[in-house]
Amino acid sequence: MRQRLAIVITIVVVLVLLIALNASSYVRIEKSSDQEAQPDRSTYNSGATGTRALYDFLQESGRETIRWTEAPISLLNQPRLQKATFVLVGQPAIPVKKEEAADLLRWVEAGGRLVIVDRSPSQRLLPSIGRWQLTTQLTQYPTSEVLADNPEQMTEGVQPQRPTQPTLLTRHVESVMPSRFASLINFYARDESKPDAQPTEQAPELSGEEEEEESTPPPPRPSATQKQGSPDAAMKQQSAPAPVTHIHNERGALLVDYRHGEGQIILLSDPFIIANNGISRADNLQLALNVVAGRTGAILFDEYHQGHAAARNRLVAYFAGTPVLAMFGQFALIVVAVMWTRGRRFARPLPLAHVDRRSKLEYVASMAELQQRSRAYDLAIENIYTRTRRVLARYAGADNKTPRGEIAARVAARSRLDRHQLETLMRHCEDAINGQPITATQSLALVAGLREVERTLGLRMRAREIRQAKEQGVKEQGVGERV
């Protein structure tokens, strides 16, 4: 029980230390300013290129605003959103796929309202109406040198633009201030007799009477079951109304809209007008309200293609950028480590205590008998001579690689041993180790000679001899006391 309590206390202490370490080492990284070359048009972004200001204004004014985080096909499955407004702002982080564009246009045909605010919108989202086709053209590309949070740089050399004609989208708008990166919208009538016809001159502006005609519901589009080659279908195609230009200059349009089935598509060619950095310029806010919230119903801001899909874990997204996720990861590693160590043996298995009843001399006797039966006299001499040579080299003040003649000379110089006899004994031992035939008597004589050298020089007596000498001394002392 005490061992488990110690483990629990250790884990708690480690967790407290990890929390303190994460809290002390966490440094909040300051978010860099938005760049117009790489904008983030999400309603979650409160930076210069985001649309958080417009979203909060619409929400606080009582309008039903929704951050749409699902695929466009989900719009077709919700009848209450059939008359809603779907807003696509800027170049999306996730490109709109062909199937998604088709689902979105089907929703518009059923009565939806699609608002596209982009400088280079995808042609998949701009279907032709009758013989009219829309195109966009960028006149100036944003660079990293232009600061998005500097409206003066964004609008350098640009004059405010007035509405071309009074319409519902330009109501209460005297002038708007686009950026110098706004694209130009042009539309042209295709020549049906020439499949590869090039764009003709720009269609003229529509008058107020034509605007009134545009406000009336257009004739329904031909159904899929209707023959494309019928005279009625061709006549309806030719009589389809042209897109309506709301803000226009000599080079192109800034805001147009046209009917698509029962719904409406609105194209605004500059996100700067509704972005956080430009919505306060001139009447940009009023124009944004007219375009985005021009009719009743919910307003859906596309966040699915801005990288905020509903499939993402909301808990992980909430704690993103904080040390909480790292703390949870460290805690999980600790739990796994504890479970792994408790579930397996921590160290090598220890055998039970075993009392050896045999004496050490039994092992020596067994090895001696084994060597004697195999006549491995060279092995016995090698075991003894190797140790003796190392001791003699140390006694002579040389290393173990010194030749035997030099070792014998130095030993003889320091002792009363004969150099020739010691060198001869060492040579015979090395010859026996190297394979020279030797008998039991000769090996015994060599070993006895080595022992005699050790005893004469007093070099490293074996532990058994020391023990025997001590025992003999104790016995003699006991006898003397009894006497």
Outline where DSSP puts E strands in 56-137.
65-68, 85-89, 113-117, 132-137
CB count in 10 Å sphere of residue 323:
18
Contact 382, 394 (CB under 8 A): no
Segments in 1-51 forming alpha helices (H): 2-25
**Tokens 């005279």, located at residue:** 231
Tokens of 378: 């060279």
How far, in Å, CA of 90 to CA of 272, rounded? Answer: 9
Contact 42, 144 (CB under 8 A): no
How far, in Å, CA of 191 to CA of 197, rounded? Answer: 6
| DSSP 8-state symbol, 27 | -
Contact 118, 185 (CB under 8 A): no
Contact 119, 276 (CB under 8 A): no
Name the residue ranges covered by the structural domains of the chain. 2-23+323-342, 52-192+237-318, 376-482
Tokens of 46: 């409160």
188 backbone dihedrals φ, ψ, rounded to 5°: -140, 160
Question: Could you tell me the end-to-end alpha-carbon distance of the chain, in angstroms, rounded to an integer?
Answer: 62
DSSP 148-170: TT-HHHHTTT---B-BSS--GGG
Per-residue pLDDT reduced to its tens digit, 260-313: 888 999 999 889 989 888 888 888 899 999 899 877 888 999 888 888 776 555
DSSP 227-284: -TTSHHHHHHHHTPPPPEEEEE-SS-EEEEEEEETTEEEEEES-GGGTSTTTTTSTTH
Q: In sequence order, which residues have a C-beta less than 8 Å from that of residue 334 and are 6 or more positions away? A: 11, 14, 15
Contact 84, 298 (CB under 8 A): yes
Q: Are strands 299-302 and 65-68 parallel, antiparallel or unpaired?
A: parallel
Contact 242, 132 (CB under 8 A): yes
CATH number attached to the domain at 52-192+237-318: 3.40.50
How far, in Å, CA of 436 to CA of 430, rounded? Answer: 9
Tokens of 423: 């060198």
Amino acid at 474: V
CB count in 10 Å sphere of residue 302:
25
Can you give the length of the chain in residues? Answer: 483
To the nearest 10°, report the CA torsion of 399, 401, 402, 407: 70
Tokens of 405: 């003649």
How far, in Å, CA of 418 to CA of 195, rounded? Answer: 121
Q: Among 148, 102, 107, which residue's Cα sits nearest to residue 122?
A: 102
Task: Give this prediction's pTM.
Answer: 0.54
Query: Packing angle between helix 360-374 and helix 377-396, nearest 10 degrees?
Result: 120
DSSP 92-155: -SSPPPHHHHHHHHHHHHTT-EEEEE-SS--GGGS--BTTEEEEEE-SS---TTSBTT-HHHHT
Each residue's pLDDT, cut to its tens digit, for the chain (483 residues) gives 566 777 778 778 887 887 777 776 655 555 567 777 788 888 888 888 889 999 999 989 888 998 988 888 888 888 888 889 999 998 888 888 899 999 999 999 998 999 999 988 888 888 888 778 888 888 888 877 777 788 888 888 888 889 988 889 899 999 999 888 888 888 777 665 555 444 433 333 333 333 333 333 444 444 333 334 445 545 555 566 778 889 887 778 889 998 888 899 999 988 998 988 888 888 889 999 989 987 788 899 988 888 877 655 566 656 666 777 777 888 888 888 878 777 766 667 777 777 766 666 677 777 777 777 877 778 878 888 888 888 888 888 888 888 888 888 988 888 888 888 888 988 888 888 888 888 888 888 888 888 888 888 877 555 555 565 566 665 555 545 554
Per-residue pLDDT reduced to its tens digit, 356-367: 666 666 777 777
CB count in 10 Å sphere of residue 36:
25
